[in-house]
Structure 1
Amino acid sequence: MQIKRMAAVLAAVWLGMQLAFGYVAAPVLFKTLPKLQAGAIAGELFAFVSYAGLAVWLLVLAVQKSTARGRTMPAFKSAAAVWLLLAVNQFLITPVIEAHKTQTANWLLSLAGGSFGVWHGISSLIFMLCALLAAFAVWRLSDWYGD
C-alpha cells in the first residue's frame, strides 16, 4: 500500500512541476530575459520535467499493473497516455525544434517539414494534453488513499 501512495504523490508533484515550469516559469523567463537566453533556460526546465515525468509515470504504470483493479483502469490508460506523449515530445518533437534552432538536419523535419512555430505549437499542445491527462490520472489515483 505504501508504494501506491508514493507513486500517487510523485505523480501529483510531477504535475505541479509541469504546470509551474510551463505556465509560470517559462512566461516569466521570456518576459524578463533575452529570447535566446530564456529559451535555453526553458528548454532545460522542460527537459528536466520530461525525464522526471517519464520516470514517475513509468513507476505509476508499474504500480498500477501490479495492483490491477477494474476501477483503476481509467487512471492506467491516462498514465500510459501521459508517458507516451512525454516520450513523443522529448524524443521526436524536441529534436525537431532543436534542429530548427541550430539549423541542422533532423530525419523527422526532413520527412514532415514544417516551421519552428508549427513544431513549437505541436509541442505546446502535447504539453497541455499531458497536464490535463495527468490531472485526471492524479485525481483517479487519489482513490488509492482509501486502500
Structure 2
Amino acid sequence: MSKLAAVLAGAWLGLQLGIGYLAVPVLFQHMGKMEAGAMAGTMFEVVAYSGLAVWLLIYFIGRHELSRSLLRSKTNKFVILLLVLLSVNQFLVTPVIEAHKAGTTNWLLSLVGGSFGQWHGTSSVIYMLCSLLALGLVFRMLRLDWH
C-alpha cells in the first residue's frame, strides 16, 4: 500500500507541476487572455479535485500503515496540511477569483476585500506551497517512512 501511495502522490505531483508551471503559461502565450484563463481554470479545477481525492486516499493509507494514532505521524500531519491548503484554495480563494472575473459578489470578498491580483497572488502562493509540500511528501514516501 505504501508503494501505491507513493505512485499516486508522484502522479498527482506531476499533474500539479505540469499544469501549473508548464501548460498554463503556454496557454497564456498562445491564446487570448479570457480564453486561456477559462481553460486554465478548468485545468486547475481538475488538479484540485484530483489532489483532494489522491491525498485523502494517501492519508487513509498512511493511517492503515501506521496502525496507531494520527498524532504520532509527521507524514500524515503534512498530508492533512496539504489537504487543508488544497481545500482553502479550491473552496475559499477560487470562488473569490471567479466572483471578481464575473463582477459579482462573494461572502469572503465582501468580508475581506481585495483586488483580483491580490487573490490571484494568494492562490498562486498556495499552489506553490502545495507543490513544495507534495514534493517533500513524495520523497518521504519513497523512503516508505511514515514516521
Fold match, TM over 0.5?
yes
Return 5+ residue gaps in structure 2 as ranges.
none
**Separation (CA, whole Å) in 1 of partners of 2:109 and 2:91:** 13
Question: Partner letter of residue 116 of structure 1?
Answer: F
Query: Equivalent residue for 2:41?
Result: 43
- Please give the per-residue CA displacement for 1:21-71, whole angstroms capped at 9, x wherever unaligned: 00000100001000000000000000000000000000110011111179x
Structure 2 partner of 1:112 = 112
Stretches of structure 1 that go unaligned for 5 or more consecutive residues are none
Sequence identity of aligned pairs in percent?
Answer: 53
Tell me the TM-score normalised to structure 1 length: 0.92
TM-score (norm 2): 0.92
Separation of aligned partners in 1, 2:123 and 2:47: 14
Contact 1:74 1:137 in 2 (8 A): no
Q: Give distance in 2, aligned partners of 1:93 and 1:125.
A: 11
Counterpart Cα distance in 2 of 1:49 and 1:18: 6
Superposed CA deviations along residues 63-92 of structure 1, whole A, max 9, x for unmatched, are 11111179x833212211111100000000
The list of structure 1 runs, each at least 4 consecutive aligned residues, that deviate by more than 6 angstroms after superposition, is none
RMSD: 1.6
Structure 2 residue aligned with 1:79: 79
Paired residues in the alignment total 142
